[in-house]
Amino acid sequence: MKNAQVTIRDLALKLGVSISTVSRALRNASNVDPEKKKHVLELAEKLHYQPNRVAQNLRIKRTNTLGVVVPQINLHFFSSVISGIQEYAATHNYGVMICQSLESLEIEQSNIQMLVANRVDGLLISLSSETDSYDHLQALLDKRIPVVLFDRVTESVHANKVIVDDHDGASKATEYLIQTGCRNIAYIGGPEHLYISNQRLKGYTDALQRNGIALDDDFVFHCHDLKNDVMSAADQLLSGNKRPDAILCLNDPVAIQVMQVFKSRNIRIPDDISIIGFTDEPVSQFIEPSLTTVSQPADEIGRVAAALFLEQMDQKDDFKPVTKVLATELLIRNSTRII
Amino acid sequence: MKNAQVTIRDLALKLGVSISTVSRALRNASNVDPEKKKHVLELAEKLHYQPNRVAQNLRIKRTNTLGVVVPQINLHFFSSVISGIQEYAATHNYGVMICQSLESLEIEQSNIQMLVANRVDGLLISLSSETDSYDHLQALLDKRIPVVLFDRVTESVHANKVIVDDHDGASKATEYLIQTGCRNIAYIGGPEHLYISNQRLKGYTDALQRNGIALDDDFVFHCHDLKNDVMSAADQLLSGNKRPDAILCLNDPVAIQVMQVFKSRNIRIPDDISIIGFTDEPVSQFIEPSLTTVSQPADEIGRVAAALFLEQMDQKDDFKPVTKVLATELLIRNSTRII
DNA sequence: GTGAAAGCGCTAACAC
DNA sequence: GTGTTAGCGCTTTCAC
């Protein structure tokens, strides 16, 4: 950026050739005298020439950069996804700009706006928990900017998506709870409009039904605030006239909060209540008792999302959005009873 | 990027004014008829005009983007730093491109190269554990590209730095171990060339000395591979003829590994051996026993690094690199004996 | 207050 | 095979 950066013009001048020859040599294009090419390359090396990507980008109308928006960078799940994206992108000569929405729709919108202004070639987005309108996403599609939604997706938008099989994960988890003898199983989920929360809820209710267990509405919670609402959900479950013997939680952080509440009330886990989370945060294997959870392949989600984007870049014209569903795995640890 | 993006030329045409007037109105420059300005702004709004930052960047020779390179994105410490950087940057109208070196010098170099090619305004870098030559950093300084090193820094480079007071942290930790009655205290560190590892070592040795405890070379380990070497260090400590009664570890992951080894050998923590880590990973408060550790303000490091960069952007001319040293805090938990 | 024009560094016709 | 030229979309002199 500074002064002093060498340009192809400098090279051309010193070599007594035209800038187009230099340009061609650099990109080792079709027709250029091997001898001259060699000289150009050597001089470029010697002068530490670095192509100005900003200029290139303006000219070729693409940036080889992709934008990613996540709710919060320093949640292990998201940083793992980002790690996966970055690694995949790097090997395909792409850079990545990151933003975090901090669970705010407004920030999410301005993030996207900023990325678009920077003309990223595509956007990989995981929605904020607050996001319940999708105009800003639709606007991207209308501009034919490739979008891949991951993890926190919505059915309202016709874009590429990569998710894990939340329904199956929740179903397996619930099924397991039933196998271990639980019959009064509660679900503490997220906001109603959150796709993953609904899928998990559905997996849970389907498993109950398959096993002839009636769904109890008092056992289902939709938490908007993943802090306070979770606390009060846990409280309610304890003070209700029917006590659950197991709880399926939206994710590990929720599960851990619930565990803390229970511990402080001397409720034994898993003897009194079994608890299952979702995600497999690194904490979960170390907490006491270690948390049974449904693991999601975070890095893989990132890689697949990036790959999906690259595919779309190729086909562009007749592109049909796809949804990749990745498998989950039930990790049985010590927060649930044994069979 | 796509077709269809509105340009100032489109606005000018529709409004029957020149593009320079539009440009001025948009950036609400000095002299422009308020009436016309209003029209421009309205039309821009209506047509969803978005300035092409790539073109702007080329013209004004800066990108309002900063590049960050960390060893691994999905380590909690680094993702927290990134989060801090991103948040600070966003409020100052900066974007951020991220890369991870995966602890490889070669990748670190190509990351930096890529970011420079994209003409980021500055670089915030935490060095890979493999990095023991600094030409690639010096090259940046020579090109007068602002660089801020954080956490994993080196004394060999004359750039802005933000670190935590590792010496003091290690010193406080060692001091505390001594207070609790430990006399045979070992240190398991990282590669010799790693600044933070050395600082911590120094804090440790100084504390020993202050308390009249002789330094035992058999009690100091430099691990290059933070996995295998740590294991064998733990093994050695157990099988040596003098057994330590406490271990200060380079960081929490190292401490946790050591704990696992000890647990598998039925060594009681802290009764047989006290253990202290560094960083305060989220795991550390949940592990059994919870880990006494020296916490570092990760977000704050990110914010300060970003702030330092912005400062440097302003002064540019007569700039003197500074090193910000942030305070650490000893978090006493249950992996150490009580006083 | 406004427009014409130059140019940021590069690519890609288009001629020769 | 090589040079000339015209932009990419924007900012910023410089005249008027």
Q: How confident is the model at residue A288 (pLDDT cuts 50, 70, 90)?
A: confident
Cα(B250)–Cα(B197) distance, rounded to whole angstroms?
7
> Residue B58: which nucleotide is closest by CA–C1'?
C8
Q: What is the mean pLDDT of chain A?
A: 93
Answer positive or negative: Cα dihedral of A169, A172, A173, A174.
positive
Looking up residue A46, the CATH number of its domain turns out to be: 1.10.260.40
Same domain, B75 and B183: no
Helix, strand, coil percentages, rounded to 5, for chain A: 45, 15, 40
Say whether the CB atom of A13 is under 7 angstroms from strand C. Answer: no
Q: pLDDT digits over B96-132, tens only?
A: 999 999 999 999 999 999 999 999 999 999 999 889 9
Give the closest residue to B169 by CA, choosing from B325, B339, B333: B325
pLDDT in tens, B140-163: 999 899 999 999 999 999 999 999
Same domain? A182 vs A292: yes
What is the least distance, in Å, from the CA of A86 to any CA of chain B?
Answer: 7
For residue B154, tell me if it sits in a domain: yes
- State yes or no: pLDDT of A2 exceeds 60: no
Q: How far does Cα A336 stand from its chain's mean position?
A: 28
CB–CB of A115 and B98 under 8 A?
no
Nucleotide nearest to B24 (CA to C1'): D11
* Cβ A326 to strand C below 7 Å: no
Give the list of residues 6+ apart from residue B122 with CB closer than 8 angstroms, or none. Answer: B66, B67, B145, B146, B147, B148, B309, B312, B313
Subunit contact A51:B117, Cβ cutoff 8 A: yes
Q: How far is CA B26 from CA B8, B12, B22, in A?
A: 9, 11, 6
Bridge partners of B221?
B188
Same domain, B227 and B156: no
Query: Is A19's Cβ below 8 Å from some Cβ in B?
Result: no
Give the pLDDT of residue B4: 63
Q: B335 in a domain, yes or no?
A: no
The residue of A78, A118, A281, A313 whose CB has the most chain B CBs within 10 angstroms, and thus the best one to mutate to test that interface, is: A118
> Within chain A, where are the H helices?
8-15, 19-26, 34-46, 53-60, 76-91, 105-117, 135-142, 166-179, 195-210, 228-239, 252-264, 298-315
Structure tokens at B183: 């006399």
Whether residue A257 sits in one domain with residue A203:
yes
Q: What percent of chain A has pLDDT over 70?
A: 98
3-class SS at B202? helix
Do B244 and B203 share a structural domain?
Answer: yes
Together in a domain, B242 and B97 = no
For range A234-254, the mean pLDDT: 94
Same domain, A160 and A44: no
Q: What is the mean pLDDT of residues B222-248?
A: 92
CA-based nearest distance B71→chain A, Å: 11
Structure token pair of residue B90: 């966003």
Closest CB from A50, A51, A74 relative to B80? A74
Residues B190 and B140 grouped into a single domain: no
Which residue has the least CA–C1' distance to nucleotide D7?
Answer: A59
CA distance A153 to A161: 7
A243 and A136 in a single domain? The answer is no
Burial B275-289 (b: 16+ CB within 10 A, else e): bbbbbbbbbbbbbeb
Q: Residues B247, B207: one domain? A: yes
Asked if B27 CB < 7 A from strand C, the reply is no
Is the distance between the Cβ of B19 and the closest atom of strand C smaller than 7 Å? Answer: yes
Q: Are B5 and B50 in contact (CB under 8 A)?
A: yes
Confidence of residue A5 (pLDDT cuts 50, 70, 90): confident
Question: CA-to-C1' distance for B323 and C9, Å?
Answer: 36
- Choose among B48, B79, B97: nearest Cβ to A97: B97
Q: B282, A282: Cβ pair inside 8 Å?
A: yes
Quick one: which of A223, A189, A180, A336 has its CA closest to A269? A336
Q: Please report the pLDDT score of residue B319 as a whole number.
A: 82
Inform me whether the C-beta atom of residue B47 falls under 8 Å from chain A C-beta atoms. no
* Residue A172 predicted with pLDDT over 70: yes
In a domain, A332, yes or no: no
Distance CA A151, CA A129 (A): 12
CATH code: domain of residue B308: 3.40.50.2300
C-alpha to C-alpha distance for B199 and B207, rounded to whole angstroms? 12
Is A222 part of any domain? yes
Contact of A306 with chain B, judged by CB distance below 8 Å, is answered with no
Tokens of A297: 């392949």
Please name the residue ranges forming H helices in chain B. Answer: 8-15, 19-26, 34-46, 53-60, 76-91, 105-117, 135-142, 166-179, 195-210, 228-239, 252-264, 298-315
Which nucleotide has the shortest C1'-to-CA distance from A8?
C9
Evaluate whether residue A336 is within a structural domain: no
The confidence score (pLDDT) of residue B318 equals: 75
* Whole-number pLDDT of residue B2: 38
Strand D contact residues in chain A (10-69), C-beta within 7 Å: 16-21, 24, 30-33, 36, 55, 58-59, 61
Interchain CB contacts (distance < 8 Å): A and B: 160
Q: How far apart (Å, rounded) are the C-alpha atoms in residues B177 and B179?
A: 5
- Chain B residues with beta carbon closer than 8 angstroms to that of A255: none
pLDDT at A223 over 50: yes
Give the closest residue to D11 (Cα–C1′).
B59
A175: Cβ contacts below 8 Å, ≥ 6 apart? A207, A210, A211
Q: Does residue B331 sit within a domain?
A: no
Judge whether residue B61 contacts strand D, using its CB and a 7 Å cut-off.
no
Q: What is the tens place of the pLDDT at every residue in A311-336? A: 999 886 678 999 999 999 999 999 99
Between the CA of B23 and the C1' of D11, what is the distance in angstroms? 8
Between CA B24 and CA B10 the distance in angstroms is: 15
Total number of domains in chain B: 3
Residues A159 and A216 grouped into a single domain: no
The band of A1, judged by pLDDT with boundaries at 50, 70 and 90, is very low
Structural domain span for residue B312 = 63-164+298-326
Cα of A222 to nearest chain B Cα, Å = 26
The answer to whether the beta carbons of residues B283 and A282 sit under 8 Å apart is yes
Q: Which contacts of B40-44 are long-range, i.e. CB under 8 A and separated by 24 or more positions?
A: B40/B11, B40/B15, B43/B11, B43/B14, B43/B15, B44/B6, B44/B11
Look at residue A3 in the predicted model and tell me its pLDDT: 46
Radius of gyration (C-alpha) of chain B in whole angstroms: 26
Nucleotide nearest to B11 (CA to C1'): D9
| CB proximity A37 to B under 8 Å | no
| Measured distance CA(A144)–CA(A138) in Å, rounded | 10
Residues A121 and A150 in one domain: yes
Give me the residues of A, 101-120, that contact B with CB < 8 A: 102, 107, 111, 113-120
Cα B207 to its chain centre, rounded Å, is 26
Residue B257's Cβ-side half-sphere holds a number of Cα atoms within 13 Å equal to: 21
Closest CA to A181 of A4, A336, A19, A14: A336
CA distance B205 to B174: 9
Instruction: Give the bases of strand C that a protein CB approaches within 7 Å.
Output: 1-5, 7-13
Question: Least CB-CB distance to B54: which of A2, A3, A57?
Answer: A57
Contact B5 A143 (CB under 8 A): yes
* B26 inside domain: yes
Looking at the predicted structure, is the pLDDT value of residue B226 above 50? Answer: yes
Question: Of chain B residues 193-212, which have a beta carbon within 7 Å of strand D?
Answer: none
Enter the pTM of the model.
Answer: 0.90
Query: Does A260 touch chain B if contact means CB atoms closer than 8 Å?
Result: no
Query: What is the per-residue pLDDT across A77-107, written as a single tens digit (0 to 9) for each?
Result: 999 999 999 999 999 999 999 999 999 999 9
What's the CA–C1' distance between B119 and D1, in Å?
33
Q: How far is CA B18 from CA A135, B5, B184, in A?
A: 32, 19, 79
* Residue A78 is assigned to a structural domain of this protein: yes
Across the interface, which of B2, B52, B58 has its CB nearest the CB of A55?
A: B58
